[in-house]
Amino acid sequence: MTKKALITGITGQDGSYLAELLLEKGYKVYGVRRRTSVPILENIKHIENEIELIEGDLLDLSSLVRAVQVSNPDEVYNLGAQSFVGTSWNQPIITGQVTALSVTNMLESVRIVKPDAKFYQASSSEMFGKVVETPQKETTPFYPRSPYGVAKVYGHWMTVNYRESYDMFTCSGILFNHESPRRGIEFVTRKISDAVARIKLGLQSELRLGNLDALRDWGYAKDYVECMWLMLQQKEADDYVIATGEVHSVKEFCELAFSHVGLSYQDYVVTDPKFFRAAEVDLLLGDPSKSIEKLGWNPQKTTFKELVHLMVDQDMERIRQYKSQYNVLGK
Ligand code: NDP
Ligand code: GDR
């Protein structure tokens, strides 16, 4: 029988890769999509005819109940969120409503309509925040440093609580930063790869960044969504850290990205206090031992260098196409 999956956040980076993966595996894929005045379906345009989109908003419980009724899923992946840490200081209440409380909306929808569906919650290394222990693993205490991180802690514990209260199959994936050419443009890696392409092709002269010393454990989103699926294929529901176990600074990301196109980052990167955070997370480094052992996760599937290069290459290609279109139009 064809398995059915429901994905919230299907238009985002992870949702789009996960939808592709599940289609490859023969799933019928449903996605919750909120109404916007201009539909932004860039990440899923190429699979739009293979998936079924259900109108809904994470803030609207009734729409989520309906989404679970319509899709009758075997697996639910709750990836939707206000996911940008920087914005969470500017919009702390919306972040709390969307990133925290809506997890309960999703859990309730599943509990009421399809309690035997397996549930994945997109938790985050931002829950660790301030360094209490390094590398960080499933048992490391949380100390979130942003409204976003605080919201994710709530979502994580509600997921654990529904497992313990109702014996539901609910998993929390504590994923460290993962990037790709589909990453939103305001996140630092994509901001860098996009700027490198624009600078190389003569459309931009400098790149303004915040804290260059921040250290992150960066992996490739396409590899990480496979772990989400693997978590729901286990006998028992559990929580897992997904990370590479390697740490790099924003500065290192810049160095590699600029040098890939023959440029030196020192010539273009300008530090701008506008991009400093109210409370910074200095270091995130994951210990993926449990997921290696239990899920067969390979943390080096895509290396840091390969990740940087593939992001820059894709942005170079995109900006080149944009430029040639622009030239053809004679503007
Ligand atoms: P994105 O920001 O790319 O995607 C977020 C998705 O949530 C989008 O599809 C967005 O829809 C949707 N969404 C936001 N608000 C609502 C709403 N009110 N109702 C319905 N849908 C909504 O995030 P990623 O793909 O990078 O991340 C996926 C999940 O994993 C998120 O929960 C994120 O917090 C978490 N996470 C991400 C990590 C990473 O490094 N990428 C690491 C750890 C956790 P729209 O297109 O309409 O805006
Ligand atoms: P993060 O990702 O906050 O880790 O959250 P982001 O790419 O925004 O920041 C990473 C680090 O880079 C520093 N930085 C800058 N960041 C941005 N966005 N813009 C800049 O100009 C800049 N300069 C330096 C930041 O201070 C930070 O230290 C991501 C999101 O995907 C979350 O949803 C997810 O949960 C976590 O990763 C794990």
**pLDDT tens digits, one per residue of 235-259:** 999 999 999 999 999 999 999 999 9
Looking at the fold, whether 104 and 159 belong to one and the same domain comes out as yes
Report how many helices (DSSP H) and strands (DSSP E) the chain contains, helices first.
11, 13
CA dihedral 8, 33, 182, 329 (to 10 degrees): 180
Relative to the alpha carbon of 278, which ligand is closest?
2
Looking at the fold, whether 210 and 307 belong to one and the same domain comes out as yes
Task: Report if residue 292 sits inside a domain.
Answer: no
Q: What is the pLDDT of residue 328?
A: 55
Looking at the fold, whether 232 and 169 belong to one and the same domain comes out as yes
Does 329 score more than 90 pLDDT?
Answer: no
Q: What is the mean pLDDT of residues 45-59?
A: 98
CA dihedral 319, 323, 329, 331 (to 10 degrees): 110
Q: What is the pTM of this model?
A: 0.98
Residue 188 CA to ligand 2 center (angstroms) comes to 6
Does 262 score more than 70 pLDDT?
Answer: yes
Cβ contact 193:199 at 8 Å? no
DSSP state of 147: H
Residue 268 CA to ligand 1 center (angstroms) comes to 30
CATH of the domain at 93: 3.40.50.720
**Which residue among 124, 188, 242, 275 has the greatest number of ligand 2 atoms within 8 angstroms of its CB, and so is best to mutate?**
188
Q: What is the mean pLDDT of residues 191-203?
A: 98
* Residue 49, burial from CB neighbour count under 10 angstroms (0-12, 13-18, 19+): exposed
Average pLDDT over all residues of the chain: 97
Does 194 score more than 60 pLDDT?
Answer: yes
Cβ contact 10:33 at 8 Å? yes
Give the strand order in the sheet containing 118-124.
Answer: 52-55, 28-33, 4-8, 75-78, 118-124, 170-175, 239-242
Ligand 2: residues within 6 Å at CB? 83, 85-86, 124-126, 176-177, 186-189, 191, 209-211, 214, 216, 250, 275, 277, 280-281
Instruction: Give the residue carrying structure tokens 């059915």.
Output: 4
Is residue 148 among the annotated active site residues?
A: yes
> Would you state the structure tokens that stand for residue 255, as one six-digit string?
């160095």
**pLDDT tens digits, one per residue of 112-163:** 999 999 999 999 999 999 999 999 999 999 999 999 999 999 999 999 999 9
Task: Report if residue 61 sits inside a domain.
Answer: yes
Domain that holds residue 87: 4-179+218-242
Q: What is the pLDDT of residue 227?
A: 98
Does 230 score more than 70 pLDDT?
Answer: yes
Q: What is the pLDDT of residue 175?
A: 98
Closest CA to 271 of 199, 215, 188, 204: 188
CATH of the domain at 257: 3.90.25.10
Looking at the fold, whether 156 and 138 belong to one and the same domain comes out as yes
Catalytic residue among 102, 124, 146, 291, which?
124
Cβ contact 205:315 at 8 Å? no
Q: What is the pLDDT of residue 325?
A: 85
Residue 85 CA to ligand 2 center (angstroms) comes to 7
| Phi, psi angle pair for 114, to nearest 5° | -145, 70
Q: Can you list the alpha helix ranges (DSSP code H) found in 134-240?
A: 147-166, 188-200, 221-231
Q: Percentage of residues in the chain with pLDDT exceeding 70?
A: 99
